[in-house]
Structure formats: structure tokens, C-alpha cells
Structure 1
Amino acid sequence: MASLTLRLAVLACVFICRTDVALTAQNVIQLQNNEYTDVLIAINRNIPEDQQIVDRLKEIFTEASEALYIATRSRAYIKQVKILIPNTWTRQPQYLPPGTATFDRANVRVDVQNPLYGDGPYVQQTGGCGVGGEYLHLTPRYVVDRPYGESNWGPYGKLVTHEWGHLRWGLFDEYGFDDPLGGSYPHFYVSTSMGIQPVRCSAYTAGSYQNPVTQSRCQVDPATGLPEADCRFIPNPNGNRATGSYMFMQFLPQVEEFCHGGQHLFSQGGQPNPLSSHNREAPNKQNALCNGQSAWDVMNKHQDFANGANPPREVVSTVPDFVLLQEKEPMMVLVLDTSGSMRVLEAQGDPSGGILFLMSDGQENELPDIATVTPQVLAKGIIIDTLAYKRSADPQIESLALLTGGKSYFYSGEQGDSTALNDAFTASVLSRDDRTGGEATIQLVSETKTLNTGENYYNELYIEKSEGRNAIFTFMWNGGVPPLIEIIAPNGTVIGQGDPSYHVMSDTIQVNVPGVAQPGKWSYNITIVDYYYQQVDILASCKGATPDSQPIKVTAQVSTISLNGSSLSESPALSIRASVTKGYLPVTGATVTAFIEKPPSEDVDELLLLDNGAGADVTKNDGVYSRHFLNFTAGGRYSVSVKVNNEQGEAASIVVTGTARRGHSAALSKDAEAFALDKNAVHSEPLDQFQRMAPGGVFELTDVPIGGLSRLDLGPPSRVNDLKVIRVSHDNLTVALSWTAVGDDLDQGGPAALTDLRFGRNFTELADDFEASSVVDDSQVLLGDLTSPSPPGTLETVVIRVPERGENVTFVFALRVCDTVGNCGQPSNIAAANLEYIPEPTTPPPTTPLSQPNKPNSNTLIIAVSVSCGVVAAVVAILAVLSVKHCCCKRKKRVSVTPVPDGIALESGQPPNQPLPKA
């Protein structure tokens, strides 16, 4: 290990003096005896000191604890909250050491606005149904300005309870919303039993339909059979009796619980409470991603409440205990094979918040062992990053990192030109932004090359215009005569031996580019002049062009650190995710590739990650690129790294001008005008060429069956969750559908074998018995092909003919995708199509502005419509296929559409079965 120790020492000299550490393991909230503890709130170091923020956070989470206790029917409340004060604020005697608390691990962040959402609170969600979010984002204005916050989002306790559903239980919104990046969900749908309805939960939420953009009456669009794009459902704040749901409109005074499926928990006199019954027909994100399950259906499967855990309990007080912590500059110690070496940290003072970089290449054979020292490490608040050096390293070290909030890395020592060792160490000391929310250091290049005498190696890298300050190129070799190094700037300037910025140290050459490096293509030449071959490590990094710049940032992670090899065929769902952002805004269209080093021979798989909202990816164009990994080869450790660039030239940063108002996950505002999106406020700005790399962590495959892993099919195709009706034609009896193609195995492999598309006239029948529903056969398919699915990630489109049309004729569709050996994925979300005749709209007179009180008859929407000859067909291609043109002339008519009346009795806990009256 001597040469390895020297190598790490050189890396320490290169990086530690100018950077902090990067940690990404989320703080773990505990729930025992109905009490949530260890809830971590952190304030960003760039937020100006303001004691009101701390005081208001205490008030907000006191209110949230009470609301949460009521919403869970006495099953959970917040008992303990830790608030991490930045080290840029004045030290106070009541502030305790931080322990393992860091800004990037916090469950709740207080930070500057995300431009997409303004001051709107939101939870960053990257996992699927039932998978908790990354963090809750609050802004200083939202926290401090109570009149502003309540006027926009309602009571603070109820808002935090809504966001807790995202953060803790992996719930999704039950309302429609406009996402300027493409992940929108509709505001209206057509019910097979009730006609046109607003997307809401429960169906008893009363209100009216209005267009807040034109301030006119809503009209029905004949191309979709639904109200026009800007039409919104405006809830009646005073006339509602609906008590659910928190994931719909938490600000309504009557809302006090989450929607339920009617089979458990919430009852009145032994009967399900209809006023919070789940509306599974509404095409919202909760239903789409959770397969129609209610919020409580999902919550009851979470460890918090599964199998009757944490049953209702009466408590005297729900007021939390608040603990104030303060950041301090971290100390870092490199430890080789001795788990008792925290005393190295204690020699420098209080070890709380210190970091051990622990490297081990074998099994434990001396005391104290990991199990013995872990309680002491946790008590002292020490963070441990671990590097398993060689496959013989004890498997417990990854668990130690996870428990203390550290990161895990693996280097087999047999990977030739692998960069795993360098990446592990540098990732633990780079990127101050990741740990404290401060300024980031960007790792541009990390590579290792073995070169022979006289051999030349040339490569290129790109520096983007938002970065380039403190640019450093580092070259390390394994002894002998220094290689010749030349670095060429975009303007042709050559930096080489003799240049003032060219420094030669022991087995290391470092070039510090003065000022801000020019944006564009940089290159470097390496020539070996020694008599023997040399292994050269190449590292390049920089910071933002200015301290206030927001350069492109990449973080990566795997969904789990351990998989059971004996049950891969039942649950092979390991996913790899990479987040690519500029500040809090996503970078779309980048090329993101995961590299997975696999046992036993250290082969490397390349896996293209996608941001298309399908398969392992939850939300389209949110800057989180995801994919399942299935190509397991043997038991042991798998190491993951991610590289990001713009080699296809399609990468773009999102730019927000003005106020976007609504994005894909910000809490719904009670302000009526915020129900509409300013479509001109968001646009994409093309990016120049760039590259990034980031380690993605380590996972281990255990309990591999005798005889090794089977090479049989590892799973069915993923479930499609974005099936949509994109156009309907009453005249042609056609419906156009679209969805994102999945793979033969989840979202992997080549195209699947076939698409099994079903349809019917009854939502419940299709939802409850997919296989008994009618199959769309080849004779109905006018455009597209259900027997030859497209490659994973491709947008699929089909146009089909339906058997009938007319008033109150609604068809529902769902599909599943099957692979080459007959395994079929779960049925998709359900999409509905309205096949009634809808004439072309006219320009209606304006309605009362939304800023004024609703008139007494505001619960009735009058839609003025008229039609002319030659109604436009849904899809032009259909006319060619059918060779038919329709010309329909009908009298102008007026259609009166009313929301479901509040107070109609439910049957068996289902939404009211009442068609919309027509005038």
C-alpha cells in the first residue's frame, strides 16, 4: 500500500488546500412511537443573517406537526427538528456542533428562489411511487413573510403537510399542472360516467370553470373534446364540504386529510368518509405513477404505517423540540486500515463534523472492529467516506459510510487505466457547493493512461462560458523522468515547460491557468521520454467564471447499495440517476452515460441515461437522467461513474424571465391567476460544448445462487405511465394516442415484442380487469404499429378507429407492453377520449375577472360554441387513409356544463355517478 499512500498524499496536496468535501447521502428521518425525530433543516450560507428565519421555522414546523397529526389520524407528528445555521452567521453560545449535518444532506433547505417556482415551496422528487423526495425547498421570503405566504399558499402547517406527502411517502400531486418543460398533466378529463370533469380529489370539491388568461368563459376544443388549454377549475373557498385531499388543494379550509380508497382508516359510523374518497379516474400524476392508488394506499405500504405500525395514539402536545446547530469548517483525515483512527481528528479539537476518508483492502482482523466503533463514531458526529481497495475489502465499510452520511467508492486495483481511485479521493474533497451550499469546484477531466517510451497522447476538453476561474491541469506519473506536457488554449496559446504557470513537483506537473480560462476547446499533449512505460493520471478542474456564476453541476447516485442475487428475477430494479443542473434549473438534452465496472473481470458496461419521464425516469426534462441496470455478471462490488457532455449539440439550459408561476412540482397556489402558466416566461438557451464527470457510488450483489446468475430474461417491460389522447375526430371516428416506448427488459434492451392495447366504455371495468377488456386489433389501427414497438425512449403514436361516436360516448384506453418470451408489464395509466360532436368555438364575451368575488351562479359554466362546414380532421394522415372528407353543418348551440354538485350521496365509496346536464 506504500505507493498507493503516496499517490493519495499527492492528491491531497493538489485538492485539500483549496476545496471542501462533497457528500450526498440524505439525512435519515426516524419514526418511532408516532414521533418523527432527526428532521434536518439547513439554511444556505449565502442567505444573509436573519434571526427571523430561525424563529419562523420554529413556528412553521410547530404548526406542521399539529396538522400532520390530524391528517394521519393521530399516527404521526414531528417531535424533534434540527436547524443547521451556516458558518457565515454570527456564532451563538446556544449553537451546538453540526455532527454529520450538512446543507446538502438536509431534508429541508432554506435557499434562494428556484426561478421556475418563485417563492413557491416544492419537493425535489426523483424516485417513483412511494419513494420519498430529496429535499423540501423553502425561500427566505416564504419563511419570513407570513401574510404573503398564507395569501398565496394557505396555512403554513397545511402546506408543509402537503409537501411532507412528497418528501416522506413519495406521493404525487392530485391536480393538473402546466410544466413548461414538457411534463404537464391535464386540468380536465372526460369521465365515462360523468362527462367533462376537472382533475380533482375528491370529486366533491366544488368550484367553477373559468379562463383566467382571457377572462372569458371556457370553451370546448373539438380537437381534444376537453375545455381549452387555459381553462381552469377554480375551487369555491366557502362552499366546499370535501375534507380531502392534502395532495390536491391543501389551502381549502375544509381539507384535513389525505384521499383514501375507502377500505381502511377513515370512517364515519363505520362507513368510509365519502368527502375524502379518492378519485382514481382523474389523470393526475398520483394516479399515473401510482397506478390509481390513493394517497393512503401508498402511505399504508410505507414503513411508517405498514402492517399497523404506529397505530393512533393520543399525545399531550405536538410541539417539536428544536435543536440549533452551526456549521464549521470541516477537518479531513486520511485513514488507512484502522477503524479506530478518529483520534486523529480529536487531536485537532471537537471531531464533530469532521471527515474520515477510510480506505481498506482486506477483512477486519484487529480490534476495535467496525461494529464496535460505529456507535462511538455516530455519537461523535463524524462523517466517514470509504474506499474499498480490492475486492477483498470488508463489505461492512459501505454500511459505515451510509450510517454516517458519507459516500462509498471502490477500486479493484486491477482495472488498468481505471480512474476509480482518483475519482474516489477527489470527489470527497471537491465541490464545496455539494457540502455547504457554497461555491462549487467542477471536475472537468479524470483519466488514466498507460504510455510507452516515446508514445504521445492527445486529448481535448471544453470549458463552458460560465466557468473557467481557478482552472488547474494536474498530471501525475509513477516515477522516472517527467513526461513532456503541452497545454493549448482555444486561441492557440501553448503552455509548456518554462511557462510561469507550469510547476513541476515530485512526480507531478501542475498548470494553473491565470485569471479566467478562455471558453472553448482546450487540448493537452503528453509525450513519454523515460526509458520505461509510465502510467499518467490526468485531472482538470475549475470554478465558475465569477463567484456568483452558476456553472453546470452533475451529481450521480445508485438507488441502493445492496441487491440480493437470488431474487433478481422478482425485483431487479436497480436504477442509476444523474442530476444535471445550472443552479436549481435543469439542463436538458445532454448526453449522459453511466459506466459500470463489473465483477469478476472488471468489464465496463456503458448505459445511456435518459430524461424522458419513462421507465426509471420519473419526470420528463427535469434535468434528472435515469435508467435501470440489469446486466449483472457475478456477485461482488459494482462501481458506477457518470460522464456528461454536449456531443450531440442538443443540450440547453432553462432560462426564466419574469414569473413562470407553475412548474412540475411547486405547491399549488390559492391565487386564481397562478392557475395559469405564463408560457412566454420560460425558454431554452443552447449550451456550448462541455463535459463533466461524477462518481455514482458502489452497490454490491450478494447471495448469488450456486452455479451463478441465470442468463434468462430478467424482467418484463416497464409500465407505461404517460399514455395520452393527443387528438380525437368525431367525423372520422378516430383517436390518436401517444406514449414513450419502453424496453424488452424494463427500460433496457432492444424494442419489446408487442403492445397490447385495450379499450372500453367503462373506466372501472378497464381499471379492474384489463385482460377482460376489448383488444384493439390490427383492423382498427390506421397509423402506427402495435406489433413492432419502437426502441426504448422513443415516442410512439398510433391512430385507431373506434366503433361509435355521439353524445355521451367516451372511450377509455390502457396498454401493456410484452417482451419476446411473453412477459408483459403492468397495465398503463388510463386515457379517455370524448367522441361527442363538438362544433368549432366562437369568441365568447368576457366573464367577471377572477380578482372579483364569484357571482351566485358561478358554479355553472356556459360554453358558447358554433360550427362551420369542413371541421378539421384529427390527424391529416387519416384522411389519406380513409379517402373521406366530412362536411358538417349544424345549428349553433349552447352547452351548459356544471361541476358535480356538492353533497350527492356516494355508492360504495365511489364518486357520484351523474352525467353532466346539457342545456
Structure 2
Amino acid sequence: MVLFRSFVCLLVLYLLQGSDTSFVRLNNNGYEGIIIAINPGVPENEALIEKIKDMVTAASTYLFEATERRFFFKNVSILIPDTWKEKPQYKRPKHESYTHADVLVAPPTLPDRDEPYTKQFKPCEEKGEYIHFTPDVVLGKKQNEYGPTDRLLVHEWAHLRWGVFDEYNDDEPFYSASSKRIEATRHDHLHFLQCSTGITGVNRVYKCQGNSCVFNKCKIDPKTKLYEKNCQFFPDKDQTEKTSIMFMQGITSVVKFCNKQNHNEEAPSLQNKKCEFRSTWEVISNSEDFKNTTPMVESPPSPVFSLLRIRDRILCLVLDKSGSMGGYNRLNRMNQAAKYFLLQAVQNGTWVGMVHFDSTANIKSKLIQIISTNERNMLVNSLPTAASGGTSICAGIKAAFQ
């Protein structure tokens, strides 16, 4: 009985953590438990679901080849908002929620700004929080600007899962190389080892006035000795270079990450600045994912998708107030965990009830929907204040189901 109660206490504490941690796990080279959530503000569009499936399926193959047959996407849950109509194929989520999503499909953070990004504020090698795609990007309406969605997903997945950074720098697009040449900020090794410098193109200033746009040659700024502020690197349409995914994954020929042999430590890229001048492949190779896998011989299966529609979440706190909770500060510690859960972790819209038990059970609060701090404080005020009596866990669980 003591062991069982210890297990229940540990389970309750785990559930009370209310963490936003991802549920992704690596199993036999395949990533499982991936959650792609559609924001409630996105208008209903079944084509969006199909495009998500297409994106992930193609990205799985691209990821597999880019990581030398090591990783692929095994299963994915697509979380559909309750603002969309119910359909028979939509199942009820178990533990999946918007706060645990790995990829968010949501309106632009800023109006008319569709740039894909990964929320990534931690140091090199640390996982990011989530990937953000707008519906227009997923639907393929922005392919001219950002490239195919499957390649975008692999680029952002490298940020999210392995903590690598971009091999470019919008704030420092050019630098003066040791060769005395002005180079675009890319992860290459100047033309000698052919990483990203194998990508050919021109440096131009793109100017528009009215309906007329022109490309002008870049001038050198006499102060910085670099190209003028608005100068950009424009890649040629036809390429043969295979690297690098963290520089220009949208180019058809690009299928690999830069490695130690072809990495350029001179470029003022975010990857160099954040990762101590290591290549992206060095960082990926040092990850736990890489260390715990070996390359596959067979080709991986296609991803499996689950369609889950968000519904009202219902839960009940079953709290032990029996005499044994009086020792070792147990009652106070349980209340602290429950208070944190009620005030900070549980999402608005959730229905929450509360049961106390000793030798019998007592329903302290019927289900109430969390709308504001008022409901949260009401439940906090219902937490047990004293420990006494015998112990009947079964009575508590029965009352919770009522």
C-alpha cells in the first residue's frame, strides 16, 4: 500500500507540473509524438490539413537523406481548433494541447510578415520552443520567397531539435575575408572547400519606384570597406552545390548540412557566434539523438497522422488529507503543487473540480470553468487545511468520476 501511494503521489506531482515541454521522442530513428497545432484564429480550411501532411511527408524523406539515413518523422498529431466544425475523423486529444505544440500554424506575428521562424532563445545545442509557420506558407503561397515547405520544415527542425543557428546574418550580410575579398555571410570556406560559396549568384541593390523595379550593382561604402547597406546576395536559379541547409535550403541542389571540413569560421554568421565557430553538422553529431542512433539500412516508412480536435478539457484534483499527510510537511507540499497548477499552469477554458479524501471522500468543488483569476482563487481557497483520518484512495477516485 505504501509503494502504491508513493506512486500515486509521484504521478500527481508529475501531472501538476503543467510544463510546456514537448512530447517528441526518438524511437528507432523515428521522431514520435510531434504536435502541429492550428491556431484558433486561422479560418477553417481542409486544404491546410492536407498541405501539412504533404509537408511533413516530403520533409521526412529530405531529413532522412540530409542526416545520412539517421532520422525521419514517424508520427504526427495535427491539433485542430474548436473554432472548426466537428467531423467524424477528428479524435479527442489525450495529452496533446496547444501549449505543447512543436509547430504552430498561426497568423503572422506582425501584419504581412510571413517569415517562418523558430522561437529559440537558449544557447547552442539547446532545444528551441516551437516553430511558427503562417497558413500562407503552409499552403505554398510563399514558395517564391521562402522555398518548398518540406525544406523549410527541416531547416526549422534543426533549430528546434538540435539548437543550431542560421548560416547567415541579416545584420552583417557581408564581411571582409582574409583573402581581401568582400564575401556574403555564408558558411563556406571561401572557394577552396566548396561549402556554401559553391552557390553562385550576384550582389545587387534592388530598388523599386512605382511599378518599376531595377537591380543595381553594389557600391563599396568608404567607411566600412564593405558593400553598401541595401546590398543583397541573389543566388542564380540553376545550382549544383549541395550545401547548406542552414543557409539556403530552398535551392534544389542543397541537400546537406555544412561539416567540419567545409565550414568557414570567418563568416560573422549566427552559427559561428552562438556555437563557438563549429559547423552545424558538428553540433548535430554531438546531440543525444545522434549518439543514440545508427544509420538505417532500409528506407523509413511514411509518417502516420492523427487528426485531433480540441474540446473542453475536464479534470479533477483528488487530494489526500488523511492523517499520514500530517508528517514531513506533506500536506503543505501537496498544496503548494496544487496552488501552482491552479494559478499558473491550468489553461483558461478548462473545467476543474476538487475532491478531498481521508477514509471517505468529499466533493469540495463541482466542475467550474476557468475563465479568470476568480475561479482560480476560489479553487485555491478550497485546498485542505488539516490532515486527519484514515485513507481511502478508491473513495477519492470514485468521487472524482461523479
Q: Under a length normalisation based on structure 1, what TM-score does the superposition of the two structures give?
A: 0.34
CA apart distance, 1:105: 0.9
In the alignment, residue 201 of structure 2 is paired with which amino acid? G
Q: Residue 74 of structure 1 aligns with which residue?
A: 69
Quick one: which of 99, 104, 108 aligns to 2:94?
A: 99
5+ residue gaps, structure 1, are: 1-20, 178-184, 263-276, 339-359, 364-386, 394-408, 412-420, 434-439, 444-470, 479-505, 507-919
CA apart distance, 1:24: 4.4
Q: Distance in 2 between matches of 1:281 and 1:75?
A: 30
CA apart distance, 1:53: 1.2
Contact map agreement 2:64 2:72 (CA 8 A) in 1: yes
Would you say how many aligned residue pairs link Structure 1 and Structure 2?
331
Q: Residue 121 of structure 1 aligns with which residue?
A: 116
Q: Under a length normalisation based on structure 2, what TM-score does the superposition of the two structures give?
A: 0.74
In the alignment, residue 258 of structure 1 is paired with which amino acid? F
In the alignment, residue 300 of structure 1 is paired with which amino acid? S
C-alpha change, 1:87 and 1:302, in structure 2 (3 Å) is: same
In the alignment, residue 243 of structure 2 is paired with which amino acid? G
Q: Distance in 2 between matches of 1:442 and 1:190?
A: 56
Q: Residue 308 of structure 2 aligns with which residue?
A: 325
Question: What do residues 237-257 of structure 1 show as CA deviations (whole Å, max 9, x unaligned)?
Answer: 21x332111000111111001
Question: What do residues 12-51 of structure 1 show as CA deviations (whole Å, max 9, x unaligned)?
Answer: xxxxxxxxx9954222211122111111111122222221
Q: Does residue 1:45 correspond to 2:40, yes or no?
A: yes
Q: Distance in 1 between matches of 2:78 and 2:41?
A: 16
Question: What do residues 533-561 of structure 1 show as CA deviations (whole Å, max 9, x unaligned)?
Answer: xxxxxxxxxxxxxxxxxxxxxxxxxxxxx
Q: Does residue 1:305 correspond to 2:305, yes or no?
A: no
CA apart distance, 1:111: 1.2
Q: Residue 13 of structure 2 aligns with which residue?
A: none
Structure 1 counterpart SS, 2:206: coil
Quick one: which of 160, 184, 195 aligns to 1:167?
A: 160
C-alpha change, 1:442 and 1:218, in structure 2 (3 Å) is: farther
Look at both structures and tell me which one has the larger radius of gyration over its CA atoms. 1
Q: Distance in 2 between matches of 1:247 and 1:121?
A: 13
Q: Distance in 1 between matches of 2:38 and 2:19?
A: 16
Q: Distance in 2 between matches of 1:34 and 1:123?
A: 23
Q: Residue 155 of structure 1 aligns with which residue?
A: 148
Structure 2 counterpart SS, 1:159: helix
In the alignment, residue 322 of structure 1 is paired with which amino acid? F
Paired-residue identity, %? 34
Q: Distance in 2 between matches of 1:86 and 1:260?
A: 41
Q: Residue 234 of structure 2 aligns with which residue?
A: 234
1:25-36 matches, within 5 Å, as 25-36=20-31
C-alpha change, 1:430 and 1:96, in structure 2 (3 Å) is: closer
In the alignment, residue 197 of structure 2 is paired with which amino acid? A
Contact map agreement 2:342 2:379 (CA 8 A) in 1: no
Contact map agreement 1:74 1:313 (CA 8 A) in 2: yes
Q: Distance in 2 between matches of 1:229 and 1:304?
A: 40
User: In angstroms, what is the RMSD of aligned CA positions?
Assistant: 3.2
C-alpha change, 1:189 and 1:116, in structure 2 (3 Å) is: farther
C-alpha change, 1:116 and 1:47, in structure 2 (3 Å) is: closer
C-alpha change, 1:336 and 1:105, in structure 2 (3 Å) is: same
Question: What do residues 68-90 of structure 1 show as CA deviations (whole Å, max 9, x unaligned)?
Answer: 01111111111111111222222
1:826-865 matches, within 5 Å, as none
Q: Residue 132 of structure 2 aligns with which residue?
A: 137
Contact map agreement 1:22 1:431 (CA 8 A) in 2: no
Q: Residue 198 of structure 2 aligns with which residue?
A: 204
Q: Residue 608 of structure 1 aligns with which residue?
A: none
Contact map agreement 1:81 1:323 (CA 8 A) in 2: yes
5+ residue gaps, structure 2, are: 1-15, 188-195, 209-214, 351-369, 383-402
Structure 2 counterpart SS, 1:310: coil
Task: Judge which range, 129-138 or 194-203, deviates more.
Answer: 194-203
Runs of 4+ in 1 over 6 A off after TM superposition: 360-363, 440-443, 471-478
Contact map agreement 2:78 2:308 (CA 8 A) in 1: yes
Structure 2 counterpart SS, 1:304: helix
1:78-477 matches, within 5 Å, as 78-115=73-110, 118-144=113-139, 146=140, 148-177=141-170, 185-201=171-187, 202-213=196-207, 215-238=215-238, 240-262=239-261, 277-306=262-291, 309-337=292-320, 390=332, 410=336, 424-429=341-346, 431=348
1:507-656 matches, within 5 Å, as none
In the alignment, residue 183 of structure 2 is paired with which amino acid? Q
Higher relative contact order (CA 8 A, sep 6+): 2
In the alignment, residue 131 of structure 1 is paired with which amino acid? E
C-alpha change, 1:188 and 1:331, in structure 2 (3 Å) is: same
Structure 2 counterpart SS, 1:213: strand
Q: Residue 685 of structure 1 aligns with which residue?
A: none
C-alpha change, 1:28 and 1:422, in structure 2 (3 Å) is: closer
CA apart distance, 1:425: 2.5
CA apart distance, 1:204: 2.3
Question: What do residues 403-434 of structure 1 show as CA deviations (whole Å, max 9, x unaligned)?
Answer: xxxxxx947xxxxxxxxx8555222345459x
CA apart distance, 1:165: 0.9
Task: Judge which range, 161-170 or 317-326, deviates more.
Answer: 317-326
Question: What do residues 265-303 of structure 1 show as CA deviations (whole Å, max 9, x unaligned)?
Answer: xxxxxxxxxxxx222211011100001010011001111
Q: Distance in 2 between matches of 1:118 and 1:292?
A: 30
Q: Residue 739 of structure 1 aligns with which residue?
A: none
CA apart distance, 1:120: 2.2
Q: Distance in 1 between matches of 2:114 and 2:70?
A: 31
| Larger relative helix fraction | 2
Q: Distance in 2 between matches of 1:75 and 1:285?
A: 26
Q: Distance in 1 between matches of 2:167 and 2:315?
A: 46
